[in-house]
Structure 1
Amino acid sequence: MAGRRRLPAGSRTELPPLKIIRKILLLQVAYYAGATVLILFTTVVYGTPFSLNLVFGWDYLRGDTTVGWILGLVWMLNCFISVIFLLLFVSRSKLVPDFALTIHFLHLVATTFYTHSLPSNLLWWGLQFASAGMMIFVGMWACQHRELRPITFTGLEGSSQAGSSSQQTGGDSQQESSFGRGRGRERSLQNEYEMDRLKANGEHAV
């Protein structure tokens, strides 16, 4: 009977499929939530009615209208906000490109199903490539910056401080004991000197 093939250490618990799917869903919901809030705020300020076509449609992203350019800026701002969620949910720089590209691919699928047609606007495609590239670049930089932060060990610092304090107290006690022994030796020498003087005076008197 052939032996069972052993998997490498950490391969079972590193990124299980259910965990990957959960992270993708959370990132996609956060991506659309951020875009919806920004677009809703923009429509209120601009004075235009809000509709889901502004979120899932592609026909409004046009280069010959003010609304199209405003939507483009809003989507680019949303990609920077999505970097925060990548930092929270992914937190590993080598996985950022996969999740960022997955977010934009699912957005393409959602847009195609919502409009029943494949996007044919060049500004929409250019915006997706620019947003994905910016999300990957900023996301990897943020994750690497957090991975390279120095780690402080409070336990080792406390033990080193305790060791230094114990060494200091030990040195003080040794100094005190040596000082005490020195004083005792001086007293014994003084007593011997006085005894010798008494003996010498007694011999002179005889």
Structure 2
Amino acid sequence: MARRRRPPRPGALTELPPLKILTQIVLLQVVWYAVGTLLILFTALVAGKKFSFDLVLSWRSLRGDTTVGWMLGLVWLLNSVVGAVSILLLISRSKLVPDFALTLHFIHLVVVSAYSKSVPQNMLWWALQVASAAMMTSLGVWSCQYRELRPINFGGSAQNTTGESSMAASTNEAGDGEQEYGRGRGRGRGRDGAGEYEMVGMKADGEAT
């Protein structure tokens, strides 16, 4: 007897086609490096420093005893906000945000290690990666959840919906008044509220009883 396969875990990367996952990861990585390079280039020019790709891809440039090292740390934290926005635009699913954010930083670790020809040995670099991944994950999850929980508008505005509700309530009140008026068997009040009326029986010859 054939065994039934278990359904994939909700929110897992297996829910998406492999080619789409690869495309999204490449786009996220390209945007992250492009924006980070531009921010570092702008900051270096403003500070009067010479720009080189060591500032972007070498872990040795991120040091706690130099102004350039702290400047790079702040720039990479700012770039994490850009990464969260990129995840919101490209992924738009809160359950997949941690997977993509951690994958992005893991690829960055591989690239930095290959460029520097050694695994990063600076504690500040590792602390920055943890802070960057946490910031990107938290901002990405919050923004995606905010987008997922927004009310869906089917072509009408909130004012139109409120007006229709008020009109329906008025119609219901008017209908209830007419039903009360029509159900009266003895004494009651007229529609115009001018006074009370009394229903009397009529004989066949037209005289009131």
* TM-score above 0.5: yes
The gaps in structure 1 that reach 5 residues or longer are: 169-206
Match of 1:183 in 2: none
C-alpha distance in structure 1 between counterparts of 2:80 and 2:133, whole Å: 8
Distance 2:95 2:80 in 1: 18
Question: 2:26 maps to which residue?
Answer: 25
C-alpha separation between the residues in 2 aligned to 1:60 and 1:6?
Answer: 50
Amino acid at match of 1:125: W
Please identify which structure carries the higher helix content. Answer: 1
Aligned-CA RMSD value:
2.8
Q: Match for 1:74: what amino acid?
A: V
In 2, Cα distance between equivalents of 1:141 and 1:41: 29
**Are residues 155 and 66 of structure 1, via their aligned partners in 2, closer, same or farther at CA, if it must alter by over 3 Å?**
closer
The correspondence of residues 17-166 of structure 1 with structure 2, limited to 5 A, is: 17-154=18-155
The count of aligned residue pairs is: 161
TM-score normalized by structure 1?
A: 0.70
One-letter amino acid matched to 1:41: F
Q: 2: distance between equivalents of 1:134 and 1:21?
A: 23
Structure 1's consecutive aligned runs of 4 or more residues displaced over 6 angstroms after TM superposition are 2-7, 155-158
Query: Which letter maps to 1:33?
Result: A
Q: In structure 1, the residue corresponding to 2:72 is in which secondary structure?
A: helix
Tell me the CA shift for residue 48 of structure 1: 0.7
TM-score (norm 2): 0.69
Q: Deviations over 1:10-37 (max 9, x none)?
A: 99x9400000000000000011011001
Sequence identity, in percent? 58
Partners in 2 of 1:155 and 1:64 — Cα distance?
59
Once residues 122 and 19 of structure 1 are traced to their aligned partners in structure 2, the CA distance between those partners, rounded to angstroms, is: 35
* Deviation, structure 1 residue 60: 1.0
Give how far 1:153 is off. 1.3
Seen in structure 2, the aligned counterparts of structure 1 residues 148 and 113 have a Cα distance that, compared at 3 Å, is same
Query: Structure 1 counterpart of 2:26, which letter?
Result: L
Higher RCO (C-alpha 8 Å, min separation 6): 1
Give the C-alpha shift of residue 58 in structure 1: 0.5
- Where do 5+ consecutive residues of structure 2 fail to align? 172-209
Indicate the larger mover: 148-157 or 37-46. Answer: 148-157
Following superposition, the deviation at residue 152 of structure 1 comes to 1.2
